[in-house]
Amino acid sequence: MVARLWLQLLAFGLVFAATARAEIPKETYDALKLDKSATSKQLYEALVNRYKDPAEGAGRGSHAKYWEPIAFGKYLYPAISYKPPSSVKDVASRKECVKCHTDETPVWVNAWKKSTHANLDKVRKLTARDPAYYKKAKLEEVEKHLRTLGKLGAGEQLKEVGCIDCHVDVNTKKNADHRADLRMPTADVCATCHLQEFAERESERDTITWPKNQWPKGRPSHALDFKANVETTIWAGMPQREIAEGCTVCHQNQNKCDTCHTRHEFSVVEARQPQACATCHNGVDHNNWEAYSLSKHGKVAEIMGAKWNWNVQLKDAFSKGGQTAPTCQTCHMEYQGKFSHNMVRKVRWANYPSVPGIAENIGGEWSGKRLEAWVKTCTQCHGESLARSYLDLMDKGTLAGLAKYQEAHKVVAKLAADKLLPGQTTNRPAPPPPDKDGIAQFFQLFWTKANNPSSIEFEAIEMGENDLAKLHVGMAHVNPGGWTYTEGWEPLNRAYAKIMSEDTKLRDMAALRDRVAKLEGKRASLLDLDNNHASLGGLGGALLLAGGVALAGWRRRGKSDR
């Protein structure tokens, strides 16, 4: 009996080792110039080298000269700005780290003590009946990889993953000098153990490529979200750095893993629940959380989620975990029936339909393949007819919103071309570099000065960046009020009406100015008969003077009549 069990476990381990990298797509191996037979060390080194390469998106980006990190930035992009504390002179052992921080930062320590990192022996004792049993094979795979890196001896097991492992180096140092050794862990540090997950996340760079380069390669994605951040001109150029870091707080997934797996527990149960996505995927320009949470899917998760078993793997969420509605994770981490940390393999609209050229893809071969992947996702719960009809509704509804926005944007662009925007020729300062002035531009949401932007431009940029995006998100997440009335279509129409009214007012005013100018050009002054200095002002003055003389005469006559 025991021998048979060991054989079963050995077979499971061999199968796991052979298939552990199954969710790393071929595109990633091709991009790294590796064969699928590459060792875990080769894969790790190739991924980390690319991850740290400025030419591949690491570092401060092409606008680096326009901004400097502020103190808080070291927690958001530590590879660029973190420096060990100079005030703490201690050289501490593993036990001393825990002892000191139990007093200094007790919540850190309590979270770590609850984590899998601190309880590896519990993982080794899991039985096949436990929903977290898969972690046992995962731990063995981690240890196997650490041996290839020379960080674990043959037959040696990890005792725990403690402070020094993450903040200095994995399983190689017994003591840490605060002033010289400490680091703030970045995603490649996590990859030292979690190679599979890191590779899956990094594969987003390789699997999202646009037919006509509507977006840069690998974007938008979590793998390159910090690059997208620093390459945004207004983010780099705006002087209010504390405001700018509001973007970075979400655009830091490229740098770290703890936006989904909160430190220091790094709970996979937390990261599997839809609320984990809400902090970033919300708001006026990508209200994914609001749309999902108000959908029937979200309401079922809210009502029934406490009864679901979040310890089971995503692939077993419906069959073994009792899950009866999709979450962000079960839809976006799934591709062709398998789950991974690559969340962009089905992207078609990329959240922002107003990006030039995005709509051109819809209906084409590139989009069609991704549409079929969505159909497969939806048919886990729904019939194919319903899935296809709804996805068609989403596409056509989004295109209707796009047409409304484009019509309004053309009106604003024509006003600009005719030099009719308020202050356009007199009171329109240039935005801070590296931004360049333009009509209804993204920078105008975050920088204003005098008549840049004009109110009509602000309406236009909000239509494209916010209202249209929310219409699409509402449809994509099945929230009817989120695309028809509360958000989306109704706000689009409100902004459209404002733009059309303002256009009429500005053009009427321009016509009136032209008429006044023509009248002034006639030199029709009653006080300047030779017309050398005639003007409408002179004509008005003459009329006013004549009226005053007549009134004085009337008053004198009135007194004599009495």
231 inside domain: no
* Integer Cα distance of 442 and 271 in angstroms: 32
440-490 confidence digits (pLDDT tens): 999 999 999 999 999 999 999 999 999 999 999 999 999 999 999 999 999
Range of the domain at 441: 384-520
427 inside domain: yes
Cα distances (Å, whole numbers) of residue 309 to 114, 304, 316: 18, 11, 10
Q: What is the pLDDT of residue 378?
A: 97
Q: Are residues 447 and 540 in the same domain?
A: no
154 inside domain: no
Q: What is the pLDDT of residue 521?
A: 85
CB 463 within 8 A of CB 408: yes
Amino acid at 169: D
Quick check: 113 pLDDT over 70?
Answer: yes
* Integer Cα distance of 306 and 308 in angstroms: 6
448 inside domain: yes
Amino acid at 98: V
* Integer Cα distance of 223 and 214 in angstroms: 18
235-272 confidence digits (pLDDT tens): 999 999 999 999 999 999 999 999 999 999 999 999 99
Q: Are residues 438 and 535 in the same domain?
A: no
120-167 confidence digits (pLDDT tens): 999 999 999 999 999 999 999 999 999 999 999 999 999 999 999 999
Beta bridge partners of residue 91, listed in sequence order: 177
Q: Are residues 560 and 505 in the same domain?
A: no
45-56 confidence digits (pLDDT tens): 999 999 999 999
68's tokens = 């400097």
* Integer Cα distance of 97 and 551 in angstroms: 96
* CA angle (314 as vertex; 309, 316 as ends), nearest 5: 70
CB 206 within 8 A of CB 223: no
Average pLDDT over residues 423-436: 97
Nearest Cα neighbor of 21 from 48, 46, 39 is 39
Q: Where are the beta strands (DSSP E) in 470-523?
A: none
φ, ψ for residue 13 (rounded to 5)? -65, -40
CB 212 within 8 A of CB 360: yes
CB 365 within 8 A of CB 212: no
Average pLDDT over residues 222-231: 98
Q: What is the pLDDT of residue 14?
A: 44
Average pLDDT over residues 531-555: 48
CB 231 within 8 A of CB 54: no
DSSP state of 464: I
For residue 417, the domain's CATH number is 1.20.850.10
Beta bridge partners of residue 175, listed in sequence order: 93
Q: Are residues 392 and 486 in the same domain?
A: yes
Q: What is the pLDDT of residue 259?
A: 94
Q: Are residues 540 and 450 in the same domain?
A: no
422 inside domain: yes
Q: What is the pLDDT of residue 290?
A: 97
423 inside domain: yes
Average pLDDT over residues 531-549: 48
Q: What is the pLDDT of residue 523?
A: 59
Known catalytic residues are 251, 285-286, 352, 485
Q: Are residues 460 and 483 in the same domain?
A: yes
* Residue 332, C-beta contacts closer than 8 angstroms, at least 6 positions apart: 343, 346
Q: Are residues 456 and 494 in the same domain?
A: yes
The pLDDT confidence band at residue 539, using thresholds 50, 70 and 90, is very low
Nearest Cα neighbor of 82 from 93, 70, 64, 94 is 70
DSSP state of 452: B
137's tokens = 């094979």
Give residue for tokens 């519990």: 122
How many domains does the chain divide into?
2
Q: What is the pLDDT of residue 402?
A: 98
506's tokens = 């500005």
Beta bridge partners of residue 335, listed in sequence order: 338
Q: What is the mean pLDDT of the chain?
A: 91
490 inside domain: yes
Quick check: 514 pLDDT over 70?
Answer: yes
Going by their DSSP bridges, the two strands 175-177 and 338-339 should be labelled as: unpaired
Cβ of 406: how many Cβ atoms within 10 Å? 14
> The pTM is what?
0.88
Beta bridge partners of residue 334, listed in sequence order: 339
Q: Are residues 501 and 407 in the same domain?
A: yes
Quick check: 43 pLDDT over 90?
Answer: yes
Q: Are residues 424 and 458 in the same domain?
A: yes
Q: What is the pLDDT of residue 10?
A: 43
Beta bridge partners of residue 92, listed in sequence order: 176
318's tokens = 């419906």
Q: Are residues 544 and 463 in the same domain?
A: no
Taking the CA atoms of residue 231, residue 234, residue 238 and residue 244 in that order, the dihedral angle to the nearest 10 degrees is: -70
Nearest Cα neighbor of 476 from 197, 314, 286 is 286
* Integer Cα distance of 221 and 204 in angstroms: 6
The pLDDT confidence band at residue 20, using thresholds 50, 70 and 90, is low
468's tokens = 């249209």
Q: Are residues 491 and 537 in the same domain?
A: no
Helix residue spans in 305-353 (DSSP H)? 328-332
Give residue for tokens 């994605």: 221
CB 344 within 8 A of CB 208: yes
The pLDDT confidence band at residue 524, using thresholds 50, 70 and 90, is low
Rg (CA), the chain: 32
Cβ of 14: how many Cβ atoms within 10 Å? 10
Q: Are residues 513 and 551 in the same domain?
A: no
Quick check: 189 pLDDT over 70?
Answer: yes
Quick check: 531 pLDDT over 60?
Answer: no
417 inside domain: yes
